[in-house]
Chain A
């Protein structure tokens, strides 16, 4: 699974939601709620659903600082037994970049932490550059449906 594969989403079998909002920690609740709604519709048990809610936090945080000077774009896709989420920033030229952060090393530690937590919370996750923008993605399958 990669962010590119989301291009082949089947709208008949699942559903797709796109959200864009100012990248602040306060608004991550919107992403959590959307993910939980999709997980519920995919028949997730409460343990998987709660894991996904935690994973959404990590997905957004690992993308970059949620300092409010950018727009966070999230794409949620639900199939019969899984939820896929891709997060990216819509970055204006003047916005903060990760490489320009004064505590870049510390930020990388935080990102590594997110990666380790996501290892436990979801089935697959990753990060890549798409259309010149860094994006992070995850895939969470309903328990009992993993191949």
Chain B
């Protein structure tokens, strides 16, 4: 995560059992706590965007965690509810990424390392002005180079983020990127690649065209689309599979593609 979440986003009087400033207020009901802290749940969900999950799904996960937190909150402990709730919400969001965003179950340490790796690649790319090497990533993450390579491979099992899914304003990312679509008509080579590309869904066509027609690197594509290099890596791998399926097998299937 880029910066810590603020627990005190609720501007209403905070709920504690023994706090000297607020104990004149009676403890609120779980329903009141949930309603008063929905903004906190949305803020926490927003902190986990750009990791391949739809914002609405993350808000749902965070909101359910908020409900659980309100039910479990013990006013006798003297802890502010927002502090208790944010711990519960962030924990639930992390579990969501570990458990549900993976098409194939990867070891927990690899799942967590993979999520950290994406942010580290983007940070080092900015700092270095080039794509970082594996030793540089290993040093930054204080893990072995082998662990970095394992995490990269494990990323193939991570669900592809969808440029077709609507954002929080209901607009699919691919619609916002219409002006960046690749000019296939200008491609001299009318081979099977350009023919197949023209028949692909917009999302795949966009990313494949940028990489294989325009010749952009994964980092450059990520920068142009506002996505991480690792998201582009996953998108490319899955799009190439679909491209191959469209040529050799008709409609894409889960079988027969390189995992």
Q: How large is the interface on A (under 10, 10 to 19, 20 to 34, 35 or more residues)?
A: 35 or more
Residues of A within 8 A of B123 (CB): none
Q: CB-nearest residue of chain A relative to B220?
A: A47
0/1 interface trace, chain B 231-259, chain A, CB 8 Å (1 if under) = 00100110010011001100000001111
0/1 interface trace, chain A 41-78, chain B, CB 8 Å (1 if under) = 00111111111011001101100000000000000000
Q: Which of A8-16, A88-96, A103-111, A130-138 contacts B (4 or more CB under 8 A)?
A: A103-111
Residues of B within 8 A of A116 (CB): 189, 191-193, 212
0/1 interface trace, chain B 25-36, chain A, CB 8 Å (1 if under) = 000000000000
Residues of A within 8 A of B100 (CB): none
Report the minimal beta-carbon distance from B154 to chain A, rounded to whole angstroms: 10
Q: CB-nearest residue of chain A relative to B148?
A: A40
Cβ of B15 within 8 Å of any chain A Cβ, yes or no, is no
Cβ of A112 within 8 Å of any chain B Cβ, yes or no, is yes
Cβ of B259 and Cβ of A47 under 8 Å apart? Answer: no
Cβ of A98 within 8 Å of any chain B Cβ, yes or no, is no
Partner of A26, one of B131, B240, B259: B259
Residues of B within 8 A of A53 (CB): 152-153
Q: CB-nearest residue of chain B relative to A39?
A: B134
Cβ of B103 within 8 Å of any chain A Cβ, yes or no, is no
If A32-B153, A36-B149, A57-B240 touch, whether A25 touches B248 (CB-CB below 8 Å) is no
Cβ of A46 and Cβ of B244 under 8 Å apart? Answer: no
Report the minimal beta-carbon distance from A136 to chain B, rounded to whole angstroms: 15
Cβ of A109 and Cβ of B192 under 8 Å apart? Answer: yes
0/1 interface trace, chain B 194-213, chain A, CB 8 Å (1 if under) = 00100000000000000110
Q: CB-nearest residue of chain B relative to A144?
A: B130
Residues of B within 8 A of A36 (CB): 149, 152-153
Partner of B137, one of A26, A46, A48: A46
Cβ of B247 and Cβ of A113 under 8 Å apart? Answer: yes
Q: How many A-B residue pairs have CB under 8 A?
A: 101
Q: CB-nearest residue of chain B relative to A50?
A: B233
Cβ of A145 within 8 Å of any chain B Cβ, yes or no, is no
Cβ of A46 and Cβ of B212 under 8 Å apart? Answer: no
Cβ of B258 and Cβ of A28 under 8 Å apart? Answer: yes
Cβ of A29 within 8 Å of any chain B Cβ, yes or no, is yes
The count of residues in chain B whose C-beta lies closer than 8 Å to any C-beta of chain A is 41
Cβ of B258 and Cβ of A47 under 8 Å apart? Answer: no
Report the minimal beta-carbon distance from A28 to chain B, rounded to whole angstroms: 5
Partner of A33, one of B153, B192, B217: B153
Cβ of B218 within 8 Å of any chain A Cβ, yes or no, is yes
Interface residues in A112-140 (C-beta closer than 8 Å to B) = 112-113, 116-117, 120
Cβ of B46 within 8 Å of any chain A Cβ, yes or no, is no
Report the minimal beta-carbon distance from A23 to chain B, rounded to whole angstroms: 12
Cβ of A113 and Cβ of B218 under 8 Å apart? Answer: no
Cα distance A40–B133 in the bound complex, in angstroms: 7
Partner of B132, one of A45, A51, A54: A45
Cα distance A76–B189 in the bound complex, in angstroms: 31
Residues of B within 8 A of A112 (CB): 191-193
Residues of B within 8 A of A50 (CB): 152, 218, 229, 233, 236
Cβ of B163 within 8 Å of any chain A Cβ, yes or no, is no
Cβ of B70 within 8 Å of any chain A Cβ, yes or no, is no
Residues of A within 8 A of B258 (CB): 25, 28, 57, 60-61
Q: Which 10 A-B pairs have the closest CB atoms?
A: A45-B131, A40-B134, A116-B193, A47-B131, A47-B217, A110-B248, A57-B258, A46-B131, A120-B212, A112-B192
24 contacts between A and B (CB under 8 A): A25-B256, A25-B257, A33-B153, A36-B152, A37-B149, A40-B145, A40-B148, A43-B135, A45-B133, A46-B132, A46-B134, A46-B219, A47-B229, A48-B131, A54-B236, A54-B237, A57-B240, A61-B258, A107-B248, A109-B192, A113-B247, A117-B212, A120-B211, A143-B131
